[in-house]
Structure 1
C-alpha cells in the first residue's frame, strides 16, 4: 500500500503543476506525471489509470481557458470530442489484447519526425493555411484514431492531435493547440472510464494532483494565448524529443 508522506505529496503536486503547464501548451504532460507516480511506488497499471484522473483536470482547464479567449468554440467541436472519447474508451478497453509494446517501437521515430517538422518547417505561425481535409472527414477519421491511441498508450497524443490540425485541417499553431485540448480532454475521459473499471486508479491522489494541474494549465494556456507559436513551437519540439528519448531509453 502506497504511503503518502508530506514530502512525497509535495513532489507529486509539483509534478502535476509542471505537467499541467507543459500539456496546456505542447502536450506531453504524462512524460512528467507517469514516471513521478511510478517512482513514488505506484504500480504501472495504477500509475496509468491515476494519470488519467489528474490529466483530465489539466485538459479541462486548458480547454476552458482557450475557449474563454475565443480561440475555440466548444459548441462546434462537441461531436468531434465525443468521437475522441469513444476512441479513448476502445483503446483503453483493448490495452490488454493488443501488442502495445510493439506499437511503442515506432513511436520514437514518429515523435522525432514531429519535432523536426515543427523545428524546420518554414511559415509555421499562428495564421491559418490551406485545408487538406474536410472537417467532417477529419472528425470522423483522424480524431477517433488519435483518441484510440490516447486510451491504448497515451504519451504523445496531444502532439498527434496538434500536427493533424496543422497539416490536415490547416490551422495556425495557436488555433491548433486550442482545438487539441478539448479532444484531449474527452479521449482522456474515455480512457479513464475504462481504466476506472480495470485499472483501479488512486482517486484521492489523482484528484490532489489534478488540483495542481489546474493551476499549471491555467498559467500555460494564458501564456500560450499571449505569445502564440513563438512559445508553442519550441516547447513542442522539446517535449516530443524528450518523450522519444525516454521511450528509446525504456527499450534499451
Structure 2
C-alpha cells in the first residue's frame, strides 16, 4: 500500500504537468521504476499508460470546451498516432529501448535551444498549412511521435506540442489542446496492445488514473486561465528537467 500511495502522488503531479506542457512521464515513469525496480519494463509502462490515459482524456475534454481544436491537422495525426503507437508498443515487447534512451537527451537539447532562441515561437496562433500539405505533415508527425510513445514515451506530450507550434503555426495553448487529443490516441493504442499481452496491473492503474485526473484538472485550469505565455514557460521548464533526467538515466545511473 505504501507503493500505491507514493505512485498516487506521482500520478497527480504527472497529470498536472502533462495538462499544461506535456512531460508528465518525467514524474510518473521514474516513480514506477523506483517503486518496482525488479518488474518487467513492459508491465510498468503498460500500467503507466492506464494512469496517464485518464488524465489525458480529462485534459482533452477541458481544452475542447474552451479552445478550438483544428481537426484538419489533429484528425490525421490522431489516426497515424493510433496505428504507430500500437506498433511501437509491440516493438517494446521485442526490442531493447537503450539506443533510444541514449539519443533522447540530445534531441531534447535541440528542442530546448530552438524554443528559447525563437522567443516569439508559439505566442501567436497563425496556422501555416492547409489541404493536402497539412494532412501529410500531420500523418508524418503522428506516425513518428506515436511510434516513439508506444516504444518508450517520456516527453511525448512535449514533442507533440512543439510539432503543432513549429510545423502548423499554432500558439502554445492551441498546440496543447491538439496535443492532448493526439496523446490520447497514442496512450489508448499502447494500452490496448500491452493489455492484450498481460502487461497491466489493473488495481494500481486504477489508483493512478484517479490521481492523474485530479492533477489534470488543476493543470488544465491553470493553462486556460493564464494562456500561451504561461504554457510556454512551463514547457521550457519541463523540457529542461527532461534533459537532466533522461541524461542521468542514460549515462550516469
TM-score (norm 1): 0.90
Kept after mapping to 2: 8 A contact 1:83/1:144: yes
Kept after mapping to 2: 8 A contact 1:88/1:147: yes
Q: Identify the residue that residue 188 of structure 1 maps to in structure 2.
A: 187
| 2:36 aligns with one of 36, 41, 51 | 41
Q: Residues of 1 paired with 2:113 and 2:125: CA distance?
A: 20
The Cα of 1:174 is off from its aligned counterpart by 0.8
**1:80-91 correspondence to structure 2 within 5 Å:** 80-91=77-88
Runs (5+) with no aligned partner, structure 2: none
Q: Residues of 1 paired with 2:232 and 2:145: CA distance?
A: 20
The Cα of 1:9 is off from its aligned counterpart by 2.7
Q: Residues of 2 paired with 1:60 and 1:118: CA distance?
A: 27
Q: Identify the residue that residue 30 of structure 1 maps to in structure 2.
A: 25
Q: Identify the residue that residue 176 of structure 2 maps to in structure 1.
A: 177
Superimposed CA distance per residue, residues 22-80 of structure 1 (whole angstroms, 9 cap, x where no aligned partner): 00111111111112122222613321111011010011011000001133266984443
TM-score (norm 2): 0.90
Aligned-partner SS, 2:121:
coil
Kept after mapping to 2: 8 A contact 1:60/1:182: yes
Greater displacement, 46-55 / 242-251: 242-251
The Cα of 1:212 is off from its aligned counterpart by 0.9
Q: Residues of 1 paired with 2:196 and 2:166: CA distance?
A: 36
Q: Identify the residue that residue 47 of structure 2 maps to in structure 1.
A: 50
Aligned-partner SS, 1:228:
helix
Distance 1:52 1:125, change over 3 A: same
The Cα of 1:132 is off from its aligned counterpart by 5.5
Q: Residues of 2 paired with 1:79 and 1:248: CA distance?
A: 32
The CA RMSD measured in Å over matched residues stands at 2.0
Q: Identify the residue that residue 149 of structure 1 maps to in structure 2.
A: 148
Distance 1:76 1:165, change over 3 A: closer
Does residue 244 in structure 1 map to residue 239 in structure 2? no
**1:154-173 correspondence to structure 2 within 5 Å:** 154-173=153-172
Kept after mapping to 2: 8 A contact 1:115/1:236: no
The Cα of 1:120 is off from its aligned counterpart by 2.7
Q: Residues of 2 paired with 1:245 and 1:198: CA distance?
A: 32
Q: Residues of 2 paired with 1:12 and 1:88: CA distance?
A: 24
Kept after mapping to 2: 8 A contact 1:46/1:201: yes
Kept after mapping to 2: 8 A contact 1:173/1:229: yes
Q: Residues of 2 paired with 1:247 and 1:125: CA distance?
A: 25
Q: Residues of 2 paired with 1:209 and 1:55: CA distance?
A: 8
Aligned-partner SS, 1:52:
helix
Q: Residues of 1 paired with 2:140 and 2:7: CA distance?
A: 36
The Cα of 1:130 is off from its aligned counterpart by 5.8
Q: Residues of 1 paired with 2:109 and 2:18: CA distance?
A: 18
Runs (5+) with no aligned partner, structure 1: none
Kept after mapping to 2: 8 A contact 1:91/1:149: yes
